[in-house]
């Protein structure tokens, strides 16, 4: 069986001809998904000659470590970096013309704000966020999604988004729509996966721009993928959107649930309702024997829900979507409608909608 780490290591020597830097370091090779001897990944190329060369090199290297089924999704470099300078300037500075969207934050707007939080990283919070958003959209809801994990933005890549937002003539930013979800992320404004080194006040300013300068249109739900923990962005969200509700994501592991309780306690202390807990990576479904293997233990999500006086909304297995890069709606992290785990997300989304739209029931 091949591991993701083996794939990353074997592809590390591949370099960009112009800069001499590793394509892995430049994030030109990403979205790596490994399942037994099947490898799927995305590659950004500069020209047609490089496209053919990279495809051949990658296949040869992967075959050398035992890969038998290789899917390479090739995309031109200009798709991610060819925005006009004037557009990029508008995107980063924001324009007063978009201020009409400040009404989105009005408690009377009718929009249900749901912040997705976790106590620590690595529990699959962003995976839960993008799939919950897609499930709500499948159920006919008008959904917006803000990737508020400004230091660790990942939503565009997880959803397979290759283009950036556009800007209208009067300066309104138009969010990218994918799987029926309107998306905004810091990832649209950062070149070559550069680190974000801003301090708290700048983060809050950027988050506010995501509300005020973006033409969201009519929405039923706005999901916010928060950074892990209880830092500046989480505080800004609680202050900026007092009507926001929260969902806490954890794994079954006792320590993960213990740390997640801090995020839940913060929501409660700021008078934000916790809609429930989602336990991710609850078990692993053995493909050969059909048995469930509880690799991270059991009971963490239920205990957390009990601590926060809320309910356990769902328990999701450990895994990754079996999506093919050749599919027109490919994404590394969004489960296709009708698959087993997508159905689980649909059930969770339905429960969330009932809690938001019929709180008295």
Q: Where are the domains of the chain?
A: 4-80, 93-357
93-357: CATH number = 3.40.50.300
Helix axes 254-269, 232-240, angle to 10 degrees: 40
Note if the pTM is more than 0.85. Answer: no
**Strands 29-35 and 312-315: what pairing?**
unpaired
CATH of region 4-80? 3.30.300.130
6-11, Cβ contacts within 8 angstroms, sequence gap of 24 or more: 6/65, 7/32, 7/34, 7/39, 7/41, 7/62, 7/65, 7/67, 8/32, 10/61, 10/62, 10/64, 10/65, 11/58, 11/61, 11/62
Give the integer Cα–Cα distance in Å for 177 and 216. 10
Same fold for the domain at 4-80 and the one at 93-357?
A: no
Q: How many CB atoms lie within 10 A of CB 197?
A: 7
- Distance between CA atoms of residues 107 and 242, nearest Å: 8
Q: What secondary structure does DSSP assign to 72-137, as a single string? A: EEEEETHHHH---HHHHHHHHH--GGGGGGGGGGSGGG--EEEEEE-SSSSS-HHHHHHHHHHHHH
* Radius of gyration, CA atoms only, the chain: 21
Give CA–CA dist 48/355, Å, rounded. 51
Q: Which helix (H) or strand (E) holds 204?
A: helix 200-212
Question: What CA–CA distance (Å, rounded) separates 210 from 173?
Answer: 9
CA 351 to chain centre: 21
C-beta of residue 102 within 8 angstroms of C-beta of residue 211: yes
Q: Centre a 10 Å sphere on the Cβ of residue 250 and count the other Cβ atoms it contains.
A: 34
Q: List the end-to-end C-alpha distance of the chain, in Å, as a whole number.
A: 49
Q: Which residues are within 8 A (CB) of 147 and not within 5 positions of it... i.e. 6 or more apart?
A: 126, 153, 154, 155, 156, 183, 184, 185, 186, 187, 225
Q: Which two tokens stand for residue 98?
A: 């978009």
- Strand residue runs (E) in 96-242: 112-117, 143-147, 166-167, 173-174, 176-178, 181-185, 221-225
- Give whole-number Cα distances, 355 to 226, 347, 359, in Å: 21, 13, 5
Per-residue pLDDT of the chain (361 residues; tens, 9 = 90+): 788 788 888 998 888 877 888 888 777 887 677 777 888 787 888 777 888 888 899 999 999 999 888 888 787 775 433 333 444 444 444 433 333 445 777 777 889 999 998 888 889 999 999 999 999 999 999 999 999 877 778 898 899 888 888 888 777 888 999 999 999 988 787 655 554 444 445 555 677 778 888 899 999 999 999 888 766 666 777 777 888 899 999 999 988 888 888 888 888 877 888 999 999 999 988 777 778 888 888 999 999 999 999 999 999 999 888 877 767 778 889 999 999 999 999 999 999 999 998 865 5
């Amino acid at each position: 069986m091949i591991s993701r780490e083996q794939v990353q290591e074997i592809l590390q020597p591949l370099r960009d001809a112009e800069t001499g830097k590793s394509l892995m370091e430049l994030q030109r090779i990403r979205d790596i998904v490994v399942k037994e001897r099947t490898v799927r990944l995305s590659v950004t190329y500069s020209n047609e000659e490089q496209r053919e060369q990279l495809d051949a090199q990658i296949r040869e290297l992967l075959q050398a470590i035992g890969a038998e089924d290789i899917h390479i999704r090739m995309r031109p470099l200009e798709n991610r970096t060819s925005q006009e300078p004037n557009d990029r300037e508008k995107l980063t500075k924001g324009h007063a013309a978009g201020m009409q969207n400040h009404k989105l934050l009005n408690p009377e707007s009718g929009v249900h704000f749901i912040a997705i939080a976790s106590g620590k990283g690595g529990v699959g919070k962003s995976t839960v966020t993008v799939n919950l958003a897609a499930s709500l959209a499948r159920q006919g809801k008008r959904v917006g999604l803000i990737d508020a994990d400004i230091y660790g933005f990942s939503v565009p890549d997880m959803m397979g988004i290759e283009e950036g937002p556009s800007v209208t003539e009067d300066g309104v930013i138009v969010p990218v729509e994918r799987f029926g979800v309107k998306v905004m992320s810091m990832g649209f404004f950062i070149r070559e996966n550069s680190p974000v080194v801003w301090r708290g006040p700048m983060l809050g300013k950027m988050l506010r721009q995501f509300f005020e300068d973006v033409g969201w249109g009519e929405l039923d739900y706005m999901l916010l993928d928060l950074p892990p923990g209880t830092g500046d962005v989480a505080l800004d969200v609680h202050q900026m959107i007092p009507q926001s509700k929260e969902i806490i994501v954890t794994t079954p592991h006792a320590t993960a649930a213990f740390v997640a309780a801090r995020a839940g306690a913060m929501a409660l202390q700021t008078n934000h309702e916790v809609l429930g807990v989602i336990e991710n990576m609850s078990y692993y479904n053995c493909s050969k024997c059909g048995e469930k293997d509880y690799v991270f233990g059991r009971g963490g999500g239920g205990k957390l829900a009990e601590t926060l006086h809320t309910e356990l909304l769902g328990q999701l297995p450990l895994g990754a979507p079996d999506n093919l890069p050749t599919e027109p709606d490919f994404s590394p992290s969004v489960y296709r409608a009708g698959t087993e785990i997508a159905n689980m997300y649909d059930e969770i989304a339905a429960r969330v909608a009932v809690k938001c739209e019929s709180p008295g029931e």
